[in-house]
Structure 1
């Protein structure tokens, strides 16, 4: 760990404080980890040299549902903790939005073909086409918003093969 300076210590202590806070404070963290409040208080103090043991980190992170200290440790070593479910949800959302847009495009084309079958467009047919075009525009907007959100989601991966 020669590439790490004393900054690693302060980063971990900050993550410990955040984790304790997210779990409801010192008393609740002590209760969850079966540790004395004074010991948890030392984990919570910036200048105290006590660091949380792994079992306490696991218990507290499970309680709040966030890998606060684990993420800090990964980052200190040049890695990142990813939520595999988030990428699946994003991919599912893209596919759903794309499917909706394609379905509405099909509805617009079907409405247009039916309206044009006799070579003229009645006012009712024009209204139907306008409604179908409006619905398609909304679905394409939803798709574009989903794609924009996915572009900032750095956990999304493209599956090939």
Structure 2
């Protein structure tokens, strides 16, 4: 795989997100039994080193988020589902929607800054990709909220005017 392979770049971004979600390089190294330099290579988008499956499993179990597994599933035309429907019931539709909109605005602002000079640098792409990664989580929460609404047969939108008591 070359360092310009879109799949590899997406995989490296997922590895970075996973390592950050597990507390960073040192803690991830401790959890997987790998050195700081090895874990650092997993995070470096310019380095072709990828995580072994045992490390992926260990870290995904630690943070309870399938960052790398989701990318692998997407590469095969599949996607993962969230087996925890209880979590979906706790997520508010309105709050989830507001968070998606906030992050989309952040994405738009990041893209505007990245393309302002007519060229997107690797650093700008990395910054915007991090926002896009956050959007995936927010969209997942929104979809979970809607799944909960469907399972309950509908729900009130809980809208109210600010200042009303």
How far residue 23 of structure 1 moved from its aligned partner, in angstroms, is 0.4
SS in 1 for 2:84: helix
CA RMSD of aligned residues (A): 3.1
Q: For this pair of structures, how many residues does the alignment match? A: 98
Structure 1 residue 152: deviation in Å?
A: 3.2
Shift, 1:83, TM fit: 1.5
1:76 Cα deviation after fit: 1.5
Segments of 5+ residues of structure 1 without an aligned counterpart are: 92-147
Other-structure match for 2:146: 152
Q: Matches of residues 75-90 of structure 1 in structure 2 within 5 Å? A: 75-86=74-85
Where 1:78 maps in the other structure, the secondary structure is coil
Partner of 2:72: 73
Query: What do residues 41-82 of structure 1 show as CA deviations (whole Å, max 9, x unaligned)?
Result: 100101101000000000000000101100111112111111
**8 Å contact kept, 2:25–2:39:** yes
The answer to whether the aligner puts 1:57 opposite 2:51 as a matched pair is no
- TM-score, structure 2 as length reference: 0.51
Q: Which runs of 5+ in 2 are unaligned?
A: 90-141, 152-165
Residues 6-58 of structure 1, C-alpha deviations (whole Å, 9 max, x = no match): 21000000000000000000000000000010000100101101000000000
| Deviation for aligned residue 1:84 | 1.9
**Is 1:20 matched with 2:14?**
no
Task: Tell me, in whole angstroms, the C-alpha distance in 2 between the residues paired with 1:55 and 1:150.
Answer: 29
CA contact (8 A) 2:11 2:68 kept: yes
User: What is the TM-score with the length of structure 1 in the denominator?
Assistant: 0.53
More helix, by proportion: 1
Contact 2:12–2:45 (Cα < 8 Å) also in 1:
yes
* Offset of residue 89 of structure 1: 6.5
Structure with max Cα Rg = 1
Q: CA offset at residue 150 of structure 1?
A: 6.7
Partner Cα separation in structure 2 for residue 149 and residue 28 of structure 1: 31
